[in-house]
Amino acid sequence: MRIGQLAKLVGVDVQTIRFYEREGLLVSPERQQNGYRIYTQQHVERLAFVRRCRMLNLSLAEIGELQGYLDEPHQPCTAVNGMLDGRIAHVRAQINSLQALEKQLVALRTRCSGVHEAADCGILTGISAETR
């Protein structure tokens, strides 16, 4: 299978596949005589794994770590669930700070209603004041 087919199949851009290869997340595939990359079912599975990890917001470095476990399955999985715990904590922190931000933005938004000129806009004066 050529790169375009793989891209469609897994739902990843062609450029991104080449990028993953350079970054060591995908094994370099064989090449045809013309230089075209030829992929196997194993590549499909690995790429799908990478993509699912990305959808879980794992970094490429973390994904590389996880692949180490796929490649050497006879080691304890301690670091795997540690990584997930870290991710979960991080996502929760993000949610909290975004919720705080939402409150600030909504409060700021209420300061402007109706049409008036910028000099009198409560949003601008609100930001210029303090927004702590």
Partner DNA sequence: TCTTTACCCTATAACCATTATAGGGTTTCC
Partner DNA sequence: GGAAACCCTATAATGGTTATAGGGTAAAGA
DSSP three-state, residue 52: helix
16 interacts with DNA by CB under 7 A = yes
77 interacts with Zn ion by CB under 5 A = yes
4 interacts with DNA by CB under 7 A = yes
Least distance CB 59 / a second copy (angstroms): 14
Q: Which of 57, 43, 36, 33 is nearest to 10 (CA)?
A: 43
CA-CA distance, 25 to 65, in Å (whole number)? 10
56 interacts with Zn ion by CB under 5 A = no
Which of 36/77 has CB closer to DNA? 36
Neighbours of 17 (CB within 10 A): 22
Q: Which of 71, 70, 52, 53 is nearest to 61 (CA)?
A: 53
Q: Which stretch binds DNA (CB under 7 A): 57-65, 77-85, 91-99, 100-108?
A: 57-65
Which of residues 9, 24, 27, 36 is near DNA by CB under 7 A?
36
Say how many Å lie between the first and final Cα of the chain, rounded: 56
113 interacts with DNA by CB under 7 A = no
Least distance CB 115 / DNA (angstroms): 28
Q: Which stretch binds DNA (CB under 7 A): 34-42, 86-94, 105-113, 124-132?
A: 34-42
Q: 84: number of CA atoms within 13 Å, CB side?
A: 7
